[in-house]
């Protein structure tokens, strides 16, 4: 049955707030889980799981296991996108949260190379792959729950709620590692690194309770009426391949650039050639994450006021400019200047990150939207986020200068600008407007016949 104007679902602020809060809590937990792995890969996983390598090679291998989580994201997007498009956004999100939390907890229980040899690295890769599967299905669903509940003129603002989860998770991860690294030179590597992973079990329970209580998306409920494509992946590849490619091209800075500014920067700053203390780097990252967290919803609000694509363009340009002093100051700047540079880059990148959830969701019409957005984000993460730290490490090793990494960052930003200019935007109101028009026509026809 079609919705009439009297019964059509309402895109209300109350429902959007509940969905937005649940999206924030869930994504914060999942990104916390993801970032503690990234931080541990930069600081301790090399000697713990790959001790026979030299320092740079050990970090590279640790980053390779880190990249596995990104490379399987498209598969996670397909699996959980299918569930989300066929059975609802909510059940898919509950499952991803449980998988992410449990796999993270088991990383904290892993024996190291010293105990079981190479099997330790194998188990680490398997658990990292499970993390990647979960995140591959998590982000798209969390975004859709927030955006699809929101009124049309406020979609970018509510789309900022799941984006809050990234800096909140990063803040939690870097803050706890900063505290652990301050407990003594050997505390972290002697077992302290396990604590952030084991804490995940507490966060799972909180996230599960919050997420399970949220209503299903009104846009999904509308799609179920006429149901829709039998195989969402087939529909997405057949009808949405152009916006999927544009979505992948939109995300080099929002995904890969982010990890150049955080994960690679942590490894670079603690390299003997730079010589910064790990605790100092982690403290600077924590302050930067806090600045990102504080500014996220304001930037998303600006997206509704001035246009989300315009706000993202400002972020892309600003990030390309500000990444230069961030890297250069690490070898000669004062401590406060490094803190300011880290924070400035993260805020500039927030202009690309806060509106991108809504930009990506509105790239697609409702049919197979969960699968389509998850494919875009998952492939982008695999290419840009999964490979950029390794590419940056290779460039730095080959050239001996951080300018090669800066050039990589700028090239990624230019691609993002081109795809942003070409990206279409659809309106969710239109799918209900069609029903309203049909209902009005039917009423007029019935009146004329009577």
Split the chain (450 residues) into runs of 10 and give each run's mean pLDDT.
Answer: 45 79 83 80 76 63 70 89 88 86 88 82 85 86 88 92 86 84 81 88 79 76 62 89 95 89 84 82 86 93 96 97 93 87 94 94 90 91 84 89 94 97 86 51 49
Task: Tell me how far the alpha carbon of residue 278 is from its chain's centroid.
Answer: 25
Q: Confirm if 358 and 428 have CB atoms less than 8 A apart.
A: no
* Cα 250 from Cα 355, distance rounded (Å): 12
pLDDT of residue 5: 42
pLDDT of residue 249: 96
Q: 329-333: long-range contacts at Cβ-Cβ below 8 A with a sequence spacing of 24 or more?
A: 330/265, 330/268, 330/269, 330/274, 330/276, 331/274
Q: Which CATH architecture has domain 13-219+229-429?
A: Up-down Bundle (1.20)
Nearest to 372 by CA among 179, 235, 173: 235
* Cα 131 from Cα 363, distance rounded (Å): 26
> Tokens standing for 375?
């494919």
pLDDT of residue 7: 45
pLDDT of residue 6: 39
172 contact partners, CB below 8 Å, separation of at least 6: 28, 32, 35
Please identify which residue in the block is written with the tokens 């490490």. Answer: 393
* Type and span of the H or E element at 198: helix 194-198
């Amino acid at each position: 049955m079609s919705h009439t104007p009297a019964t059509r679902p309402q895109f209300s602020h109350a429902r959007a707030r509940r969905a937005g809060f649940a999206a924030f809590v869930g994504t914060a937990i999942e990104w916390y889980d993801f970032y503690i792995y990234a931080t541990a890969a930069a600081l301790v996983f090399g000697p713990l799981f790959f001790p026979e390598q030299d320092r740079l090679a050990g970090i590279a291998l640790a980053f390779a296991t880190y990249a596995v989580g990104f490379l399987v994201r498209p598969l996670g997007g397909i699996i959980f996108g299918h569930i989300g498009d066929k059975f609802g956004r909510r059940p898919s999100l509950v499952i991803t949260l449980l998988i992410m939390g449990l796999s993270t907890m088991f990383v904290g229980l892993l024996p190291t190379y010293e105990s079981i040899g190479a099997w330790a690295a194998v188990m680490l890769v398997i658990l990292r792959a499970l993390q990647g599967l979960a995140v591959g299905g998590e982000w798209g669903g969390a975004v859709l729950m927030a955006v699809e509940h929101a009124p049309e003129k406020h979609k970018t603002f509510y789309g900022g709620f799941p984006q809050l989860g990234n800096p909140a998770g990063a803040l939690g991860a870097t803050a706890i590692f900063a505290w652990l690294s301050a407990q003594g030179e050997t505390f972290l590597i002697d077992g302290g690194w396990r604590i952030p992973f084991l804490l995940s079990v507490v966060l799972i329970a909180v996230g599960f309770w919050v997420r399970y209580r949220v209503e299903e998306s009104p846009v999904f409920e509308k799609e179920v009426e006429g149901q829709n494509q039998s195989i969402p992946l087939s529909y997405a590849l057949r009808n949405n391949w152009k916006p999927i490619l544009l979505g992948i091209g939109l995300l080099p800075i929002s995904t890969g650039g982010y990890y150049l500014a955080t994960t690679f920067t942590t490894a670079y700053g603690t390299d003997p050639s730079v010589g910064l203390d790990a605790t100092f780097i982690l403290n600077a990252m924590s302050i930067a994450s806090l600045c990102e967290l504080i500014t996220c919803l304001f930037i998303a609000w600006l997206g509704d006021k001035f246009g989300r694509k315009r706000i993202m363009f400002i972020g892309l340009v600003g990030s390309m400019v500000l990444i230069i002093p961030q890297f250069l100051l690490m070898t000669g700047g004062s401590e406060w200047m490094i803190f300011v540079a880290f924070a400035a880059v993260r805020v500039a990148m927030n202009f690309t990150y806060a509106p991108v959830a809504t930009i990506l969701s509105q790239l697609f019409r409702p049919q197979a939207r969960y699968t389509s957005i998850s494919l875009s984000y998952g492939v982008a993460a695999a290419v840009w986020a999964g490979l950029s730290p390794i590419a940056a490490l290779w460039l730095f090793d080959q050239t001996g200068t951080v300018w090669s990494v800066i050039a990589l960052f700028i090239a990624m930003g230019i691609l993002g600008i081109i795809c942003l200019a070409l990206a279409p935007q659809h309106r969710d109101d239109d799918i209900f407007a069609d029903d309203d028009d049909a209902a009005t026509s039917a009423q007029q026809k019935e009146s004329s016949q009577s």
